[in-house]
Structure 1
């Protein structure tokens, strides 16, 4: 990031990987870079301790180079930490500040820079050092030789197989002048990008400082904007419960952009759970651009969606763009950056085609230079997917995380940090490889036998205390797996072989960090035996991720109870929480609770279903318009839909596994000012209960059937027992909060703007219990209880009021 002194800092690794990366994308080569980085750190320390007295480990090196280009002067600081420095001759200390060396001509250089790389690949396959690794060592050699005035210096690439601990060395000597010429060319190429960054940042910040909030503030909105800005300033987290229509997106994005303009923040990550909310974020940044503040905003699209092939096959043999991708991608990124601001999927696809590069990888590279990144939660939190270019080194940077619909992150995080292995997968891969690798087959058998012993001990569901033995066999299996993937050409069963490799890698990674927040159990999934490492409480893992940034703002229309979400999402006692007031007039909304009906499993019957249907018929019959009815399950939805088929006109029913086109067609039924009623039967927690925006009178009423509680199952009961023991709130954490969140989200479809009006009917006697209505948002009070006899009168009074008001 640029500061007032026009100093740009970059690590040695990032510099060489950005400028010198070349060649093909090839997923047929080693797939364990992330694992090698993690295990490699341990191997570094072990090797360094064995090196002797003439070896100095972990030497910080830095050089600042003045650069002038295009009438812009700045300092470029290149910094890093050399793995080791080898002093090849006896040292003579002439004084305490300068070390000189006694040497004769034609002898090895006095000093060699050692660059250690841990790999899983078989070292016999490595015939020369990898280019970017050699370049890192050359950078350190240049810096050290400059500081210490050496005319000649050596580099050594030390490759270590992380399983066998075998070593392979590549050594090379350079004259100082050779390194000067090489390093100058390197920074000259980078200077083009640095100058662009300086010019863009100056222009961007000037525009941001002149920018005002693009609307007249709604009630409480200015306080919300100020609260977000102060949170960023104080390096805290803010949890916002904000009703629909408050303007959460602009109220969080605007102060974040302002903080960027003041040099407080370096980059904004807008993190979402669904595609629709990414579109809202794009529109918000576009709006700020229309009001004079243009930013480079990149939206990351999943590889499967943006790939030019029907199915991603990232290698030169399968994809024409993979061949030589890295030779062309920097030019593609520079072209895009210098011509576009709102870098959406369409622009990435256009420029990727122009330069014949992979659109997904190009999109990731653009993020390095972007001001704001709009992407799925995965790219910040998922240990398999997160953006390593920003988060791998664990250090804190001046990033702002804006987490939209944050209520979704609890369950998403639990799954991200959990891991599953299926016994059948080991047998299937064994069948596929047995003719190609006896060693891999043997290791697969060991692991299968471990799982077989666990299966024999599991009738239906079993909590397991210790799987250290299985994990030791999995570690050995992974080493042989890596050799197999390096040496073999896979034809049959490629997807199955790679999937198990990735599943085992994830399982071992999660096992390494597992603690009291985890439970290990075995059970059966459609008769398939599995072992699951279940993350019960994701807060510790999420906190680790959030602390990579300066500040986080987590917001949702349904973040109740706020204490639960703060606890589960990595909040601390010193973090902030606010409840943004609703801007809606309470008289525009009618909230009713039917207190003579139940959806409890023990009460479900044709008689109870008939009562529910009668409520729905009377509710939707009170006024012509569009309605949605949300059910706790497809089973109940279908049962009542069968009753409604003859008696309810305008019925449309959500089906299972709807495509995007089918979803759009369903929503298109809900037109403005309909002449006939349209009644949509949907499932709570499904695609229509969240993230859809039927404004004005495209939706005037919603019926919520039941409390949305998840079905009782072994895993839910595991959560219940875990949190009962932890804080005595097992039922609430395992069932109640998730269920009520679905209720609030479904009901939230009705009132979308300040001008909207509508009625909401909650059907279950449990809503009249304090345990449930304490989770209603403030704007739902006062609500009224009704029965089938008096509900019609309440609706008639409400709709008369609306008509008279209009």
Structure 2
């Protein structure tokens, strides 16, 4: 048996072994990171024909215990007559005169690793290493160059890897334990449900072939375990090295954690981590990663390796609670600690943003698009709107006006730029005229230029004053970050974008609006090897494949519901119009139907509406007419505690019926799991169309010009998706019995009926309320439920 092979990036190797000191995320560093790519490209271009940019370097280093595969990408290799030069480019805000050859040991270390590999592979006795520092404000460049012999570089690499051996042993020991456990792992339930094995097999084959799969798997199939189990098996057979379970909601992250726990009960050894947003997990409520204000930031890098070693020995489930426990124990930043731990995890459970959003994706994994990772995208229907949001950016005139007023006496130079931006947006407001908005395919290049000037001028003042409590600092900081996000998104602007300018009162909003996220999503998915998009509601499948970046080579699967369709009483009442112009006439009819429904069987019911206004009006009338009925209503913004309190009302064995009022597409219309008699019926008012707005109409017009399906893409498909999700709350297991009533004349329209899933084929059209009452009575009698 040969020696174990350990693959590690040069950057991660250097940082793990050599880092020390404080976390000091100076605000300008965020700007530097965002500008870094542009700076690299600019310097690389200046290098001319002798400059070979972005050179991938891979080398196997053989030691007594391991074969280390070192991987990295040099910013540049310069072929000078006097010899090869490895160039490492770094942007900085530190005055150039204060940067000397002792400025950063880590910068030299990374470049020396590249130099070693290049020298060995090209049989060089010596090689030059150059650090190129670019000052982002003054644009001054300072180059520091040193020559190293191959012998010196060899000694350096050997010492570096000697320090890494302890981590290599941890990694190798764990990999052996994990892979052995995967080989013997059985499916963690006694038997597969209908459709479950089919989904699991499709997922495994897709991962093994490095493809994409779009899977519509109705409620009850067990999508989470059916995707995770085959992904774990594929990882054990080296098809992939890491699983990213991506989701939009906290509750679905918990389901993934439970699935891993179930597999661990069956003998699986598998490290998983759940990433929590920085603002939620940060111990320092001031939110400043500054060692002067945070004990967890001060000296973090001196302690974090001990924390890593400790937690890796003692825990496989790296949940938020575990991360916080060990962060307190070792006094390290919980967010940065969690990011370090993710490198050691086999499965990462996190929000879509961490893989796809260009502003926050995990660069330690995805920077070079070379990872053999599997993306499991849960509730993939949510990714459409989320992707549009990720790839769009907006700014408001009011932010720049307020910042200008605050800066006039403090930093006149910054105030002058802010005034120009404000004046520019005032001019845009005038162009909007009576319509209140402008849609343009042209980019506002003058605005980009002014924003870049503001960013550059504001950075210095922000850096100097971030430790003070100056009034207006937070406002300027927010405007600064919004400007960075906006200008960065401008780099993606193409024919799939429009510039949307809207006025409200005296304010102006400028939005770089991504209408079609498919291209950018497809590109983001290339950061891994394979992707599985799954949901109970990907209807129609070809629409979701298209908008989520699929192509003709990708696989798709549309599974039937595993449950007995006779357990669902599905009624279409098309005697009511819920169109906006007819809503006034519908309120009392809906109240009557709700009362009729709940009077036939005591239990918990939910009524979903297309808007809060509609819901509130019907709620007011219902509670006035039937004040003795227990009711609860969804609020526009609810904390996690308020949500849990809301759901706690759905108890089994109630003596009186409970009617909850909620909105389609809201927090209670998908993702919640009320099994048994915790929920026995849903009344769905309307076909769920998104609210008509200029932005939604822009999407409609875009797709109308692309495929003549503008209304369907912008309104009908997203609306019916909400309806299907809401209806899916009722039947959650094989034993569940319940009813769904669809209220709207459009539910009898062929274009909507074609979007009904297969297990809705038995839907019954009932217009007369008397007949409706009889049908409901008969349903409960047939099910022997009193």
Task: Check whether TM > 0.5.
Answer: yes
Once the two structures are superposed, what CA deviation does each residue of 1:534-579 show, in whole Å capped at 9, x if it has no partner? 0001001111111111111111111111111111111111111111
CA gap 1:566/1:152 in 2 versus in 1, 3 angstroms: closer
Is the aligned partner of 1:336 residue 2:314? no
Number of the residue aligned with 1:103? none
Q: CA deviation at 1:421?
A: 1.1
SS in 1 for 2:776: helix
Within-5 A mapping of 1:213-252: 213-215=187-189, 216-252=191-227
Number of the residue aligned with 2:614? 636
CA gap 1:121/1:780 in 2 versus in 1, 3 angstroms: farther
Number of the residue aligned with 1:97? none
Q: CA deviation at 1:144?
A: 5.0
Could you tell me how far apart the structure 2 residues matched to 1:328 and 1:754 are? 51
CA gap 1:4/1:242 in 2 versus in 1, 3 angstroms: farther
Alignment length (residue pairs): 775
Q: CA deviation at 1:580?
A: 1.5
Could you tell me how far apart the structure 1 residues matched to 2:740 and 2:150 are? 77
Q: CA deviation at 1:125?
A: 5.3
CA gap 1:225/1:311 in 2 versus in 1, 3 angstroms: same
Number of the residue aligned with 1:620? 598
Number of the residue aligned with 1:67? 63
2:181 to 173, 182, 207: 207
1:283 to 240, 244, 258: 258
Could you tell me how far apart the structure 2 residues matched to 1:534 and 1:143 are? 44
Within-5 A mapping of 1:501-520: 501-520=480-499
2:7 to 9, 19, 24: 9
Within-5 A mapping of 1:27-42: 27-29=25-27, 30-42=29-41
Within-5 A mapping of 1:491-530: 491-525=470-504, 527-530=506-509
2:515 to 510, 523, 536: 536
Range that drifts further, 17-26 or 561-570: 17-26
CA gap 1:11/1:661 in 2 versus in 1, 3 angstroms: closer
2:278 to 289, 292, 303: 303
Structure 1 length normalisation: TM-score?
Answer: 0.92
Could you tell me how far apart the structure 1 residues matched to 2:31 and 2:124 are? 37
SS in 2 for 1:22: coil
Contact 2:429 2:503 in 1 (8 A): no
Q: CA deviation at 1:628?
A: 0.7
2:162 to 173, 177, 188: 188
Number of the residue aligned with 1:769? 749
Q: Identify unmatched segments of 5+ residues in structure 2.
A: none
Range that drifts further, 32-41 or 122-131: 122-131
Once the two structures are superposed, what CA deviation does each residue of 1:295-317 show, in whole Å capped at 9, x if it has no partner? 00000011121111234221112
Contact 1:304 1:311 in 2 (8 A): no
Contact 1:622 1:792 in 2 (8 A): yes
CA gap 1:239/1:142 in 2 versus in 1, 3 angstroms: closer
Once the two structures are superposed, what CA deviation does each residue of 1:152-207 show, in whole Å capped at 9, x if it has no partner? 66533221235654211334455666544433221112221122111111111111
CA gap 1:212/1:422 in 2 versus in 1, 3 angstroms: same
Number of the residue aligned with 1:600? 579
Contact 1:332 1:355 in 2 (8 A): yes
Once the two structures are superposed, what CA deviation does each residue of 1:743-801 show, in whole Å capped at 9, x if it has no partner? 11111111011110001111111101111121111111120111212101100110000
Contact 1:36 1:119 in 2 (8 A): no
Could you tell me how far apart the structure 2 residues matched to 1:725 and 1:60 are? 42
Contact 2:32 2:136 in 1 (8 A): no
Is the aligned partner of 1:482 residue 2:459? yes
Is the aligned partner of 1:155 residue 2:129? yes
Q: CA deviation at 1:145?
A: 5.5
SS in 2 for 1:803: coil
Once the two structures are superposed, what CA deviation does each residue of 1:397-433 show, in whole Å capped at 9, x if it has no partner? 2110001111100001101100101112112222333
Number of the residue aligned with 1:463? 439
Structure 2 length normalisation: TM-score?
Answer: 0.94
Is the aligned partner of 1:710 residue 2:687? no
2:725 to 742, 745, 760: 745
Range that drifts further, 3-12 or 743-752: 3-12
Number of the residue aligned with 1:98? none
1:578 to 544, 547, 557: 557
Within-5 A mapping of 1:367-386: 367-386=342-361
Once the two structures are superposed, what CA deviation does each residue of 1:483-541 show, in whole Å capped at 9, x if it has no partner? 33344445322322222222111211211111111011100246421111100010011
Q: CA deviation at 1:452?
A: 2.4
Contact 1:433 1:441 in 2 (8 A): yes
1:554 to 520, 524, 533: 533
Could you tell me how far apart the structure 2 residues matched to 1:735 and 1:59 are? 47
Contact 2:437 2:502 in 1 (8 A): yes
Contact 2:608 2:684 in 1 (8 A): yes
Could you tell me how far apart the structure 2 residues matched to 1:199 and 1:305 are? 33
Number of the residue aligned with 1:136? 110
2:655 to 666, 669, 675: 675
Q: CA deviation at 1:85?
A: 5.5
Q: CA deviation at 1:214?
A: 1.5
CA gap 1:384/1:60 in 2 versus in 1, 3 angstroms: closer
CA gap 1:380/1:58 in 2 versus in 1, 3 angstroms: closer
Within-5 A mapping of 1:329-408: 329-393=304-368, 395-408=369-382
